[in-house]
Structure 1
Amino acid sequence: MRDGVTVWARRARAGLRGWGGVAAMAVLCALALAFVLLLPLTQSGGAETPRSGGRGVAEGVHARAEDCEAPEKQTLPPSTADGPTIRAIKARTGAKRKLVVGVDQNSYRWGYRDPNTEGARLEGFDIDLAHRIAEAILGDRDAVQFKAIPTDQRIPAIQDGRVDMVVRTMTISCARIGEVAFSAPYFRTGQQVLAPKSSTITGYDDSLTEKRICTAAGSTAHAKLEEDRSAGRLSADISVTVPNQLDCLVRLQLGEVDAVVTDGALAASQAAQDPAVELKGKAFTTEFYGVAMKKDADDLVRRVNQVLVDYAKGDWQTSYDTWLSATLGKDSSASKPPAPQYLRTG
């Protein structure tokens, strides 16, 4: 839509050359600005998830700026009450009466297809949580439709209404809380370096100078690398990006890159898939995974947060022991998120 505004403005400017009037251009700019400011109020969501009207530009800016040093705290208090989003999900009939969840199917131990199960069943830590949310909303843990979503399509899939939520090792970040709503954190991790065991790379340090690093497009890892390169803190080639994180491991195996930077929790799973690679150095960030939903799906955010409160009482540890203890260690304390804080008010 905004592209349309740009085209319209360009055509209008071309016409104004014949007028030769600065005042006319000023009027045109004012009209264009008013149109852009009103545009968010005219946008509507997907057919199955009603959007509440009246959310303007000022609120969106406020959401992005609000306590950005702790984006994981910008979520709503838990509740079991149904609102318009949950009622729309429950109103689905027949085979469509399912919670639609965006997931990964290539992240070992998180969301992956196990070839040793019937039909190569989708399993993992994130998958367990998605089943639990479906059970809380629809009364059936299997009432969930999984959609494989590439890393760089997680936010568009939510905004376009292709999924109700994304449960896909998605870090809560300052940039993202302006685009989607997040639950409270359900996992703690941090960025780490993955490289061949024989590599001279020792971690996120000067040993990466002039090295080729692979990251997933749209990931917080890539954003961090771009930030550090711009600030002169990193001298490496970060041009190689891939749609899915596992593709970086393939590039590493083929010798097309020297290292991978991703969440330590994912890197540990990749190292478990290939004994020739290992984690190098310690995590150099602290990040939290959250369930992502539409910006105005307040009732769904509250319900997911209630699920997480109950999940933390036992199911979280059971899932960790099943899927992650083999790669991250039996002691789960470093991976448990902090006690949730619900600082978002609307």
Structure 2
Amino acid sequence: MRRWTRGRGLRAGLKGWGGVGAMAVVCALALTFALLLPLIPSGGDGSTGTGGPGLAYGSRARAEGGCTTDEMAKAPEKQTLSPSGADGPTIEAIKNREGEKRKLIVGVDQNSYRWGYRDPNSGQDAALEGFDIDLVHRIAEDILGDPNAVQFKAIPTDQRIPAIKDGRVDMVVRTMTINCTRLADVAFSAPYFKTGQQVLAPKSSAITGYDGSLAKQRICTAKGSTANTTLVEGQKSGKLVSSADLSTTVPNQLDCLVRLQLGEVDAVVTDGALAASQAAQDPTVELKGEPFTAEYYGVAMKKDADDLVRRVNQVLVDYRQDTANGWQASYGRWLSATLGKDPKAAEPPTPAEYLRKS
């Protein structure tokens, strides 16, 4: 296979489950890419003894702020505006940027294999590629008439919402789960992908999934991730065994895989779609058990950017209908190798429901 992945490269350098020097190199490279990314124009994110698949959204309290009724809490992915192709103040401000600044500014990941990552074999620029990146290009093409009119910004998991609220980005397209907590701070598009939280651990591990085998195990999650919130809430409610160690949190999901490779943690919990990509990077790890939540990724934007939310929802409608160059083609290109050739389990609901009125 032409594509080189950081996980495999790291594995070859570590030659086992140790290697502090290799870890330092990885951290240095990650920092370098994070510092450089905002300057490079487009060139082209829970475990218990009793839990199981189908953990309901209703288990999250309405007091989280973004959902004011039980019905909303059960389906936060429906709390978005209906599609529209019309311009509005947010879109006009983007279009009025001049010269080289006339770009859509988007927060993305650069370390999630097959979602948003840099391929060293793609040329001198090591262009960003992946499922999320394809969607960004489609949105830019619709709004600005040029799929490459994008300024990508590397955003750590815990900085996705601050980056939107502070106006550093127009939107975040970064495997971001729609939930009630986040709806209090940002607006979401309709869902563009369905997934669920899952456990990743070495193949040799006795861990069997989201169950009692996580007792006394060190679990890594990303700060600000749905996985971290779900595990913390699970431990408070007794759904997660109390002896599970949740103290290891990192800025980005790939850091969890590195910690797992170094033997500093026993398991990783993240979205199953991301976990599958991490397993593809390292053949010594695997998914353990079935997903224990059902959730959806959405494009996140400012709460008052109604015209942009509606426009992105229109793009998503068109993207789903375009079987030649849209959602299905992107799934086949990036995700079929890790999630299977049939995309039905990952497809968001069709037709989407738009229950937010203002």
CA distance in 2, matches of 1:187, 1:287: 9
User: What secondary structure is seen at the aligned counterpart in 2 of 1:334?
Assistant: helix
Counterpart check, 1:335 vs 2:341: no
Identity %: 75
| Counterpart selection for 1:284 from 286, 289, 292 | 292
Counterpart check, 1:64 vs 2:70: no
Deviation string, structure 1 residues 140-198 (Cα, Å, up to 9, x no partner)? 00001100000000000000000000000000001111110000000000000000000
Q: What pairs up with 1:145-160 in 2 under 5 angstroms?
A: 145-160=151-166
* Letter matched to residue 332 of structure 2: D
CA distance in 2, matches of 1:336, 1:214: 27
Gapped regions of structure 2 (runs ≥ 5): 1-62
Counterpart check, 1:121 vs 2:127: yes
Q: Which residue number in structure 1 is paired with residue 59 of structure 2?
A: none
Q: What pairs up with 1:288-303 in 2 under 5 angstroms?
A: 288-303=296-311
Q: Give RMSD over aligned pairs.
A: 1.2
CA distance in 1, matches of 2:65, 2:128: 38
Counterpart check, 1:245 vs 2:256: no
The structure 1 segments of at least 4 consecutive aligned residues displaced by more than 4 Å after TM superposition are 60-63
CA distance in 1, matches of 2:213, 2:189: 37
Q: How much does 1:231 deviate? A: 1.2
* Letter matched to residue 169 of structure 1: T
CA distance in 1, matches of 2:261, 2:105: 34
| Counterpart selection for 1:96 from 82, 85, 101 | 101
User: What secondary structure is seen at the aligned counterpart in 1 of 2:180?
Assistant: coil
CA distance in 2, matches of 1:132, 1:65: 33
Q: Which residue number in structure 1 is paired with residue 357 of structure 2?
A: 345
TM-score (norm 1): 0.82
Q: What pairs up with 1:1-346 in 2 under 5 angstroms?
A: 63-66=66-69, 67-118=72-123, 119-235=125-241, 236-313=244-321, 314=323, 315-339=326-350, 340-346=352-358
User: What secondary structure is seen at the aligned counterpart in 2 of 1:116?
Assistant: helix
Deviation string, structure 1 residues 52-84 (Cα, Å, up to 9, x no partner)? xxxxxxxx9975315121100000000011110
Deviation string, structure 1 residues 245-287 (Cα, Å, up to 9, x no partner)? 0000000000000000000000000000000000000000001
* Number of residue pairs aligned between Structure 1 and Structure 2: 287
CA 1:306–1:218 in 2, change beyond 3 Å: closer, same or farther? same
CA distance in 1, matches of 2:305, 2:107: 16
Do 1:183 and 1:291's aligned partners in 2 also have CA atoms closer than 8 Å? yes
CA distance in 2, matches of 1:210, 1:62: 33
Do 1:194 and 1:261's aligned partners in 2 also have CA atoms closer than 8 Å? yes
* Letter matched to residue 99 of structure 1: L
CA distance in 1, matches of 2:258, 2:179: 27
Q: Which residue number in structure 2 is paired with residue 33 of structure 1?
A: none
CA distance in 2, matches of 1:90, 1:64: 33
Do 1:69 and 1:174's aligned partners in 2 also have CA atoms closer than 8 Å? no
CA distance in 1, matches of 2:301, 2:264: 35
Deviation string, structure 1 residues 192-223 (Cα, Å, up to 9, x no partner)? 00000000000000000110000000000000
Q: How much does 1:233 deviate? A: 1.9
CA distance in 2, matches of 1:300, 1:61: 25
Deviation string, structure 1 residues 125-151 (Cα, Å, up to 9, x no partner)? 000000000000000000011000000
